[in-house]
Amino acid sequence: MKHYYYLFTCLLSLHISFSYAQHPLRNPAEDRWYKKAIIYSLEVHTFKDSDGDGKGDFQGLTQQLDYLKGLGIDAIWLAPFHPSPRKDDGYDVADYYGIDSSCGTKGDFTEFMYQAKLRGIRVMMDMVLNHTSDQHPWFQQARKNTNSAYYKWYAWSKERPSNYNKGMAFPGVQKEVWTYDSLAHAWYFHRFYKFQPDLNFTNPHVRAESERIISYWLQQGIAGFRLDAVPFMLEVATPGQDEPPQQYEIIPDMQRFAQWRNGEAIMLGEANVPPKDNKKYYGENGEGLQMMFNFYVNQYLFYAFATGKLSPFVKALEDTRAKPASFQWAYFLRNHDEIDLGRLSKEQRNEVYKAFGPDTSMQLYDRGIRRRLAPMLGNNQRRLKMAYSMLFALPGTPVMRYGDEIGMGDNLQLNERLAVRTPMQWSAAPQAGFTTAAKAFRPVIDSGEYGYKHLNVAAQQQSRESMLHFMKDMISLRRACPEIALGEWQTDILNGSVLRLHYQYKGKSLTILHNFADKPQQVQLSGAQGQEILQELSGSRRSISPGKGGYTVSLEGYGYAWFRHSDAPGK
């Protein structure tokens, strides 16, 4: 009888899952909130301090929600705020269910979530399930007692694996991926730093616990998760095997679980994989991740910024075009890590290094650049604005990094990726208005052209020509153009240096141009004379009618223009 009951429940579950996915009234792909969202990435500790201890906290973040609402963003993505030794800036989690005391109390978090909801802002959070801190009680119990159930929550080897120093996430900084533990008398596996042992997802108890963690935060009102290091989470750590098998079934299982608990919850994956592997992550029919960061396009975009060569960038866009209807790419310029250039050829990577990170102190892990966008582009306002126009014009969801809306700089004196994680610059007050403490937990940028005394939110709010006002206008423009998030797109290269993106959606059309050269360009666009005009949505708000050869559009060096196709007067 038990067998029949089990079969019945399985069939019922499959039927309900299929019905949920196929029901005509259930959230069609174009109505899913993440498709048209603007996501803003921040760290609680570096955003705003409310109590004068030198560290940002949830009360301080709550105080700045009106600023974020005014900026026009739809969702906040929070970096880890769990209890942690913070050897890796919070990505070494010691308690998945808690809140680090330096960020505030559970009450502070609840109030923040309430106030964000009042303003129509969704909240996403980092979910670091690939590894824990070595101070996590699970690992401490595992290393002290090999008979403990928690021992099998991690990957161990009684002998030192032959590949102990291969596959490191942080080459040049990290020495090994298998480290000996003196209490367990065995080597444990860690793709990242040695104080971050990897969880063993071949263990069903680990998978069940990950679901409990996801469920807990969904109950707190979280709208989605940025899954950290997804490819590493899926791999089966195997001593002596450089390319271990992957457990791809984890992704749809996790997505299905989250959707059952909250039908609008999303999984945004950090998966820097080649295009041929994308389907393994988002699934044949969208049963996997709903969003992934498009690292592949990002690398070729920076190659285009550095060299003006557009063909590899266009090819990268085409290589990642195919996707399920429910899936959306997340595009970005800068994030909390280095710019990863590992998919470029050595020659291409060196060209980007030469343009944006010529000093070895600017480079990291033999593959990337640890700088903010403004310093990389020489604080050239035309290039910066063109770059952000390009981000908002890409066929996906834009993800912004805190501080980039005012053109913040970096601090290369800080270790590794901390260079781009300096406190937010709110005003010319001491410590950039970030804290009333005599000293912030991490140095604010206080000198040079990126120093807080002249580069801050308060100053830019007063200037209509500022980067901040430009970003507000650009976000507003993007929100007025659903064609980008939902429509069909085409792209081509004009005059060798101008990228054209053309979008169509429900009878509406957009043409967006970006000049990657520092010299002015005049381009010709095909069009039917007298049938329609191009109405510029950005810049001069000009209208262009077609001539015998189509439309003629002039762009300044590093210029851009967004046009909507409109019927000609009298048509």
User: What's the average model confidence in pLDDT over 86-115?
Assistant: 98
pLDDT for residue 14 is more than 70: no
Q: Label residue 322 exposed, middle or buried (CB < 10 Å: 0-12, 13-18, 19+).
A: exposed
Residue 531's pLDDT is what? 72
The residue among 455, 479, 503 that closes a domain is 479
175 and 206 housed in the same domain: no
Measured distance CA(435)–CA(47) in Å, rounded? 10
User: What's the average model confidence in pLDDT over 259-266?
Assistant: 96
Domain of residue 315: give its range: 32-130+200-479
Contacts of 94 (CB under 8 A, 6+ apart): 82, 83, 84, 85, 132, 133, 135, 136, 137
Contacts of 48 (CB under 8 A, 6+ apart): 56, 57, 60, 61, 63, 64, 424, 426, 434
Rounded alpha-carbon distances, angstroms, from residue 42 to 113, 325, 342, 420, 523: 15, 29, 25, 11, 39
Measured distance CA(35)–CA(323) in Å, rounded? 13
The residue among 479, 508, 532 that closes a domain is 479
Residue 242's pLDDT is what? 86
Measured distance CA(39)–CA(70) in Å, rounded? 14
Lookup result for tokens 């066929």: 395
End-to-end Cα spacing for the chain:
73
pLDDT for residue 21 is more than 50: no
280 and 411 housed in the same domain: yes
Q: Which two tokens stand for residue 44?
A: 């609680």
Lookup result for tokens 């069009």: 527
Measured distance CA(128)–CA(174) in Å, rounded? 19
Enclosing H/E stretch for 200: none
73 and 206 housed in the same domain: yes
Lookup result for tokens 């089990």: 6
365 and 475 housed in the same domain: yes
* Nearest Cα residue to 193 out of 80, 93, 87, 342: 87
Q: Which two tokens stand for residue 183?
A: 């209490």
The residue among 423, 458, 479 that closes a domain is 479
Q: Which two tokens stand for residue 76?
A: 């906040």
Rg (CA), the chain: 25
Are 376 and 369 within 8 A, CB to CB?
yes
Residue 373's pLDDT is what? 98
* Nearest Cα residue to 418 out of 79, 73, 35: 79
pLDDT for residue 10 is more than 60: no
pLDDT for residue 571 is more than 70: no
Inside any domain, residue 12: no
260 and 346 housed in the same domain: yes
234 and 116 housed in the same domain: yes
552 and 441 housed in the same domain: no
* Between 167 and 569, residue with greater pLDDT: 167
The answer to whether the predicted template modeling score (pTM) of the entire model surpasses 0.85 is yes
Residue 192's pLDDT is what? 98
Contacts of 132 (CB under 8 A, 6+ apart): 92, 93, 94, 138, 139, 196, 197, 199
Q: What region does 240 belong to: left with phi over 0, alpha with psi -120 to 50, or beta?
A: left
For the residues of 164-192, what is the DSSP string, one character each?
Answer: TTSS-SSBTTB--SEEEETTTTEEEE-SS
Residue 528's pLDDT is what? 55
* Between 484 and 242, residue with greater pLDDT: 484
pLDDT by residue (tens digit) across 514-535? Answer: 999 999 999 999 865 557 899 9
Inside any domain, residue 454: yes
470 and 545 housed in the same domain: no
* Nearest Cα residue to 62 out of 118, 5, 23: 118
Residue 201's pLDDT is what? 98
pLDDT for residue 205 is more than 90: yes
In CATH, what number is assigned to the domain containing residue 159? 3.90.400.10
Rounded alpha-carbon distances, angstroms, from residue 474 to 221, 385, 386, 482: 29, 9, 11, 14
Lookup result for tokens 């996790």: 254
pLDDT for residue 25 is more than 50: no
Measured distance CA(126)–CA(46) in Å, rounded? 16
In CATH, what number is assigned to the domain containing residue 534? 2.60.40.1180
Residue 548's pLDDT is what? 79
pLDDT for residue 6 is more than 60: no
Phi, psi of 211 (to 5 degrees): -70, -40
pLDDT for residue 7 is more than 50: no
Inside any domain, residue 27: no
322 and 444 housed in the same domain: yes
- Split at pLDDT 50, 70, 90, the class of 542 is confident
| CA–centroid distance for 95 within its chain | 23
Residue 438's pLDDT is what? 98
Rounded alpha-carbon distances, angstroms, from residue 515 to 354, 483, 489, 556, 557: 21, 21, 19, 8, 6
Measured distance CA(369)–CA(350) in Å, rounded? 11
Q: Which two tokens stand for residue 314?
A: 């266009």
Contacts of 121 (CB under 8 A, 6+ apart): 65, 68, 69, 73, 74, 75, 76
Looking at residue 241, its amino acid is Q
Lookup result for tokens 């006002």: 469
In CATH, what number is assigned to the domain containing residue 253? 3.20.20.80
Which residues are tagged catalytic?
228, 270
Are 226 and 127 within 8 A, CB to CB?
yes
User: What's the average model confidence in pLDDT over 51-78?
Assistant: 98
Length of the chain: 571
457 and 550 housed in the same domain: no
User: What's the average model confidence in pLDDT over 442-448?
Assistant: 97
pLDDT by residue (tens digit) across 171-188? Answer: 999 999 999 999 999 999
Q: Which two tokens stand for residue 157?
A: 């080897």
pLDDT by residue (tens digit) across 242-256? Answer: 889 999 999 999 999
410 and 459 housed in the same domain: yes
Number of domains in the chain: 3
| Listed range (17-31, 44-58, 427-441, 498-512) with the worst mean pLDDT | 17-31
Lookup result for tokens 């990337």: 368
The rounded percent of the chain whose pLDDT value lies above 70 is: 94
User: What's the average model confidence in pLDDT over 450-457?
Assistant: 98
Residue 9's pLDDT is what? 37
Residue 220's pLDDT is what? 98
